[in-house]
Amino acid sequence: MERVEHRACFGGWQDVYQHASATLGCVMRFAIYLPPQAGHTKVPVLYWLSGLTCSEQNFITKAGAQRYAAEHGIAIVCPDTSPRGDAVADAEGYDLGKGAGFYVNATQAPWAAHYQMHDYVAHELPAVIEANFAVTSARAISGHSMGGHGALTLALRNPGLYRSVSAFSPIVAPMQVPWGQKAFAAYLGDDVTTWAQYDACALIKAAAEKLPILIDQGEADEFLDGQLKPWLLKGAADASGYPVCLRMQPGHDHSYYFIASFIGEHIAHHAFNLKSV
């Protein structure tokens, strides 16, 4: 593992590392913010999953989250959104291939060789973080858009792995919208019955645990009606008695201006649950 960025930030350190991922079969980068408290004690971890076209850089440079992480004593880990490298399969367009891993374990060629993002985020990355940094095994997860989809599905698929989950503008029903249908057909194949294992609306109906879920969605989001449809998740959650707090935010769009406006409340949400016994 090699540190490639190291910057002082709000009394802590904003770093970026690269490492050889056995799960993905390529070199991966992740960002980690270590708050000042990590200098003398172990701290819990919030995993952040970014959206289409993003890398580990977008959140750490645009969200303004380090200030709140320092206040609450939480580390934040941001992986890249897909495997990378010359040997990794790619496609034209922004919504499939590099930068668009959709946090699934691909089963179809040529994607299956590297696109195992679910297992990377759920298993390999936490093992790397907990072995090398002053952090506890208490984890929370959040994300934006495709990353919001990833945060919800990872939490719902892995009972006991996280203590809380939140999302900004998540793709909650990928089986029913163009982004998800395109990605799932490529990564998982034509058998749509296999897609449900990565669809939050399907997963929440049979969830084995009920984590605190906070979702913020901008009412002026250009993708709201065509790709996001958060009311579908709220309806599925209400029908199954799963507590979901969905907040529709007037005037806000799909950008990091939106995320920066409410990231402090999301980190407080996770801090409360991460520090509860």
Hey, which residues are catalytic here? 145, 221, 254
Q: Which two tokens stand for residue 132?
A: 């090398």
Can you list the alpha helix ranges (DSSP code H) found in the chain? 57-62, 66-72, 117-119, 125-132, 146-157, 178-188, 200-204, 230-240, 256-274
In whole angstroms, what is the distance from residue 227 CA to residue 235 CA?
Answer: 16
Q: Which two tokens stand for residue 68?
A: 């709140």
Exposure string of 208-244, with b = 16+ CB inside 10 Å and e = fewer, is eeebbbbbbbbeebebbeebbbbebbbebbeeeebeb
Cα distance between residue 163 and residue 160, in whole Å: 7
* Cα separation, 9 vs 14, whole angstroms: 6
